[in-house]
Chains A and B, each alone.
Chain A
């Protein structure tokens, strides 16, 4: 996994709440069996509208998405994270995230920065006024900075540490293989098996 420390990029203001994962990536794209190549699938339904913010040429190359509350609700599809990343996003900023989406993001290396809704509103206004405005997300200091604003964001300590180190979860867990085997020896005999 790629390390994440400080990232500066331009931002896309997505003025919508309750952006569920069916909107982020419609179900039909879930049939693919690869791990990459989902950039075309991101917000596919909305992108057929020429006025949709992501279609604005001034937003090309943006790497930070700023969305309304309850981003990532609904289906647990991790493709939502891959689609955002394949499109070039490294950070999503919102005032409330769905739990599973947030968990998936942390594992995949997409930073979800939780800020107060007023910061979201400020970011929307600032980046609508100037699409080229640089926004800096500093995971070390846990701040989002743009123009003359610097606002704190929240992120789980453990997820932050993994992102900072670029560590893979399975490798970390396998260091406890002995403890897992001990636990298995203690499981009740009545516990069911599939085969």
Chain B
């Protein structure tokens, strides 16, 4: 019987396998950041162990770095201690690091692909659940906990049980104005935040093939919000074109050999998935969340649902709690929900295409009175590219704030947070209670919806905007 993409990548990395035991899997790339690594390095030190392959390990500073005044010392002493611990650990254990101020600093999941380190067929891990982003290249990439970080540092392997596989087949063509973010929010609402549990999702079908690499990353990024371990997309010409010429991409004879090998990374026709979901892209519309988990979403054209609309009593109760937390009444049209803040950024939607899409909508328009819009590029290179295209001017002229690179308001660990009861439209990936600051209320949206919402002040799509005079 044939094998799925995920199974092929898995099989190619098994170091040791024995009945009744997890497989020992080799890890090709280990990304490290300041939040989930200090205890792992501490563990190594305590046991007198070293990092087995510093040359397959890369550290960046992202989660709690500030996005203004980055030339000054980090003001928050705890954040500073964490960043300084990472720098000390990287130096002590010989791990390469891209620190604040470096051209290659940025969100770990933006930096890997941008350097060309993320390649098809690799196993990639990081102490961060959105490591699933890298699956867009046909890599098996997943988040791990701090004990596992320590394990990979010490051994470059992980003991793991094989994942189950689920195909998410998206047929047809996405209508104009419907983005990868709308697609993945729809998928999560359809299968639920636990629907992908234990699975690697493989996104396939005509609509997926038509997506750019950055859009594919948006989709794979949020696989974790459906509970999945990883998301993958088979590599194709779009993938190879994106990688070619990047600093860490293979060159010369290696390039030809690599591409030949990557072309084999497709699910065989006779392979069987453990589960399959089929979606018709042509039926999709802009999609936003109303609640406090990423599965609580509706079309932007819809209304806030009432708890009684859910059959499952557990979901009913969750809806009741979410409505209370979000300060929303059932039946309110989504388009009438007013926001205080718009956040454009994160490893979901902080890449250059996202900034371009939002800038195109903001060009010649203004952010509504009383609305604060933060634009935070996912990496320094994204920031520089945007500035080279003049996108920073577009954002500033529209009245938005143009920041330095980092995770920023995706999670409340740095100075960029919502105040209690403040409401945001956010291009990030999690609308959990307090995620963007204690008491903050988050609606997850696409970059296009974020920009249109900034202009109108209520959740909106570009189609709702008056033409630029």
The interface of chain A, by Cβ under 8 A from chain B, is 17-18, 20, 22-23, 26-28, 30-35, 45, 68-70, 73-79, 81, 96, 98-100, 103-104, 107-108, 156-158, 169-170, 172-174, 176-177, 179-180, 183-184, 187-195
A108 to B116, CA, bound (A): 34
Minimum C-beta distance from B134 to chain A (A): 12
A194 to B317, CA, bound (A): 48
Q: Cβ of A170 and Cβ of B155 under 8 Å apart? A: yes
Q: Does B419 contact A (CB under 8 A)?
A: no
Chain A residues within an 8 Å CB radius of B49: 170
Give the segment of B253-261, B301-309, B461-469 that binds chain A.
B253-261
Q: Cβ of A23 and Cβ of B257 under 8 Å apart? A: no
The number of residues on chain B lying at the interface, defined by a beta carbon within 8 Å of a beta carbon of chain A, is 80
A77 to B198, CA, bound (A): 18
Q: Does B457 contact A (CB under 8 A)?
A: no
A118 to B159, CA, bound (A): 33
Chain A residues within an 8 Å CB radius of B24: 173, 176, 179-180
A20 to B434, CA, bound (A): 11
Q: Cβ of A22 and Cβ of B432 under 8 Å apart? A: yes
A33-B38, A188-B261 as given contacts; A23 in contact with B145, CB under 8 Å: no
Minimum C-beta distance from B444 to chain A (A): 14
Chain B residues within an 8 Å CB radius of A70: 193-194, 227
Q: Cβ of B159 and Cβ of A18 under 8 Å apart? A: no
Closest Cβ neighbor of B251 among chain A residues:
A190
Q: Does B117 contact A (CB under 8 A)?
A: yes
Q: Cβ of A174 and Cβ of B155 under 8 Å apart? A: yes
Q: Cβ of B127 and Cβ of A76 under 8 Å apart? A: yes
A-B pairs with beta carbons under 8 Å apart, 6 shown: A33-B82, A99-B227, A173-B157, A176-B157, A193-B56, A195-B96
A61 to B85, CA, bound (A): 34
Q: Cβ of A194 and Cβ of B38 under 8 Å apart? A: no
Q: Cβ of B35 and Cβ of A30 under 8 Å apart? A: yes
Chain A residues within an 8 Å CB radius of B314: 17, 68-69
The 3 lowest CB-CB distance pairs between A and B, nearest first, are: A78-B145, A104-B145, A33-B38
A76-B128, A192-B116 as given contacts; A173 in contact with B151, CB under 8 Å: yes
